[in-house]
Chains A and B, each alone.
Chain A
Amino acid sequence: MTAWIDASCILIVFFALAMLATHRLIGVIQLFAAQAFVLGFVPFFLHAHDLSGRDITLALGTLVLKAGLVPYILFWAIRRVSMRSEIKPIIGVGASLIFGALLIAGAFWVSLSLKLPGKPLSDLILPCSLATVLLGFMIMVTRTLAVAQVLGYLMMENGIFLFGLSLFDAMPVIMEMGILLDIFVAVFIMAIVVNHINEAFERSPGSNRGKMGESG
């Protein structure tokens, strides 16, 4: 099953990189959903021989919340808001891809010196999750659109969660579900705030509309 885990890890980083290179907001949300979908299958691959209730709960939770409800809420947010759907990054696509590649290389280099205790199922989990966290962080700081920043944050969470999935004995399943639920609530509240930001600026026509979806 190690081959499947490795493939999932690589796909997750690949989607992260694709999100960095995508201009249209809808495309980024779709890529995020795809990434979360792959993430949802990782618990199955990790313990393919003796599937427990924990794995099934986690996989279902991830699939329903992250690959289903979260993208749905984000679509709702951008539809209601009728915001510019083009992402204007601070740095161009070419530069951000090169920088992203450097971050991935950095993540692999750092994880060489970090040795996981016990016998890890795959050597790719640690570097890939670090790379996803770093790429998510990069999206957060280089995008000016509020929804794009939320997506960067979610990608960071995906990276952290990929890492957390491999720690099955220290984290009881109820905690992991709590973490998932928290992320869901985070997106819900962020979407509502994005909505309020727009309403507030539509009410006051004198204000600079360029600032509305963007925030500091």
Chain B
Amino acid sequence: MILPALIFVPFTGALLAFLPLKNAARCFLFLAVALVHAGLVASCWRQLPAAQFDGALVLDPLGLIMLSIDTFLFLSLAVYMIGYFEHEQRNNRNFMACLLFVLSAMSVVAMSYHMGLLWVSVETTTLLSAPLISFHRTPQSLEATWKYLLICSVGIALALLGTFFLAIAAHDVHTLLLPSLLNGAPLLLVNWLKLSVIFLFVGYGCKMGLAPTHSWKPEAYGQATGMVVVVMAGALTQCAFLALLRVSQICHKTGLTEFYGSILILSAVLSLIVPALFVLGEKNIKRAFAYSSIEHMGLLVLGLGLGGAGVFGALFHMINNALAKVIMFFTAGSIAQKYGSARVGDVRGVLHVYPVTGVFLIVGFLAGTGMFPFATFHSELMILNAAITSKHYVLAVVVVACLALVFVGIGRIILEAAQGEASAPVLEKKENIFMNTAIGLGAAGLFVLGVWLPVPLERVIRAAAALVGA
């Protein structure tokens, strides 16, 4: 009964959020839901629960990784938001309800073993996260919401077409259940399958924010509060990546690995080059971090496309990316609330006014750009290593060059914001313990994974990579 509970606990929490409560009370409701959810996920680590609903809901190692990321993000979010809502007067009813609905839908994504259900749940996460972007209802944030909603809806509509094409390819299998598709791989019609793979990739890639359909990302991440961006960049986009991993499972069984791999690598290169070019002229900390997020999505797809050791790297990078996003966007959100802006110029000398937040800003920069001793360094190195061992030398050079450019671009504005003459913040000059605890959790996690990979985690990642055929 654990699988339905993982869906219904946040769902019930979302319904409860509609009760007439104070903002602070909803924060504790959120914390309670996040704790129960985390407890349920922890019990899955002891033993994977049995399948539910005729095999439509199954938790496999891939899903377990995704689910653990989701639950960690929501737990740190629950701590962070207690601090955030001390200074926020706006009623958080819809905000909390949408967040909890999103958690519920993301739990379905993580364990859906039916390609149709996967589509329905990914679409639900997209729709319910859109109102979160315009929490402050400024004209710019509404424009960003519209852009996100429209681009992602069209993308996901293409994924639906891809799912239907898959259904045609599976004409002789009579179902879209993943195990049946994998077992009946020789029965699949290859031409329709290829068409389906292209549409599924474009659709879910749109949701991931891969170039050239990334344009919603800087807008949405620039306008949404840090909390929402952490959920979007750390969990939602990676849910779409999970969908790409499922496609990869099918391609592996049908001998389309190379076909799919070449699409993935091409898109990855674009997603590495675009942020490297655009981040250099950026003045807004959140928008700069958004470009870094596009780059990380590119790295994930690259690892998957290269196969072999790259898949392990990509799966490990999924976890590290989520942790890095916690540090980066929680810090950026905290600064945006303190200064009323996230633009360099309005924000200066953070280290002098808020020493802890300032240190976290620099830590976030180092973690996000993949510096030692943070785990992002290791996973990026694994992906790069996969590129070199598979003799993609030019590709490896391009990757390193792009990573270096993004490092320079982000480093320039972060150091400017952290150091220098202090500009006057809007709020009192006091550190917020809840916000800093949440950021500290992410930083500690990323540091620990950087120096030591626990054996159970490694085992699960290996099992997950084996599912994709690596």
Contact = CB atoms under 8 A, between A and B. Distances in A.
A171 B176 contact: yes
B160 A153 contact: no
A156 B157 CA distance: 8
B36 interface: no
A160 B155 CA distance: 13
B154 A140 contact: yes
A1 to B, nearest CB: 21
12 contacts: A116-B168, A156-B154, A164-B160, A167-B168, A169-B175, A170-B167, A170-B173, A170-B176, A171-B176, A175-B114, A175-B116, A182-B127
B334 to A, nearest CB: 25
B375 to A, nearest CB: 36
A210 to B, nearest CB: 13
B interface majority secondary structure = helix
Given A175-B114, A193-B130, A160 B142 contact: no
B410 interface: no
Given A146-B146, A171-B167, A189-B127, A182 B120 contact: yes
Interface string B138-150: 1100110111011
Contact of A175 (B120, B147, B195): B120
B134 interface: yes
Interface in B271-327: none
B138 A200 contact: yes
B161 A160 contact: yes
A118 interface: yes
Contact of A117 (B143, B154, B161, B168): B168
A106 to B, nearest CB: 16
Contacts of A186: 123, 127, 149, 153
A48 interface: no
A133 B157 CA distance: 10
Contact of B146 (A116, A157, A178, A215): A215
Interface string A173-189: 00100110010011001
A193 B149 contact: yes
Contacts of B138: 200
A133 B161 contact: yes
B161 A170 contact: no
Contacts of A201: 139
The 8 closest A-B CB pairs, nearest first, are: A170-B167, A175-B116, A178-B120, A117-B171, A167-B167, A182-B123, A215-B146, A197-B142
The range of chain A's interface size is 35 or more
A interface majority secondary structure = helix
Contacts of B174: 169-170
A179 B134 CA distance: 25
Interface in B368-411: none
Contacts, number: 105
A190 interface: yes
B412 interface: no
Instruction: Tell me which of A114, A116, A170, A172 has the highest count of chain B C-beta atoms within 10 A of its own C-beta.
Output: A170
A197 to B, nearest CB: 5
A56 interface: no
Contact of B134 (A117, A137, A160, A193): A193
Contacts of A117: 168, 171-172, 189, 192
B99 to A, nearest CB: 15
A153 B155 CA distance: 11
A192 B167 contact: no
A90 B147 CA distance: 18
A204 B139 CA distance: 9
B327 to A, nearest CB: 30
B263 interface: no
A118 B143 CA distance: 46
Given A117-B172, A175-B116, A189-B127, A157 B157 contact: yes
Nearest to A165: B164
A44 to B, nearest CB: 20
A216 B151 CA distance: 11
Contacts of A169: 174-175
A196 interface: yes
Given A116-B168, A182-B127, A216-B147, A175 B142 contact: no
Given A193-B130, A193-B142, 7 more contacts: A117-B189, A146-B146, A153-B154, A170-B171, A185-B128, A189-B128, A196-B137
A118 B168 CA distance: 10
B344 interface: no
Contact of A189 (B116, B119, B130, B154): B130
B170 interface: yes
Contacts of B157: 153, 156-157, 160
A52 interface: no
Contacts of A146: 146
Given A193-B146, A196-B134, A185 B161 contact: no
Contact of B116 (A156, A171, A190, A215): A171
B124 interface: yes
A160 B116 CA distance: 14
A181 B396 CA distance: 45
A149 interface: yes
B144 to A, nearest CB: 10
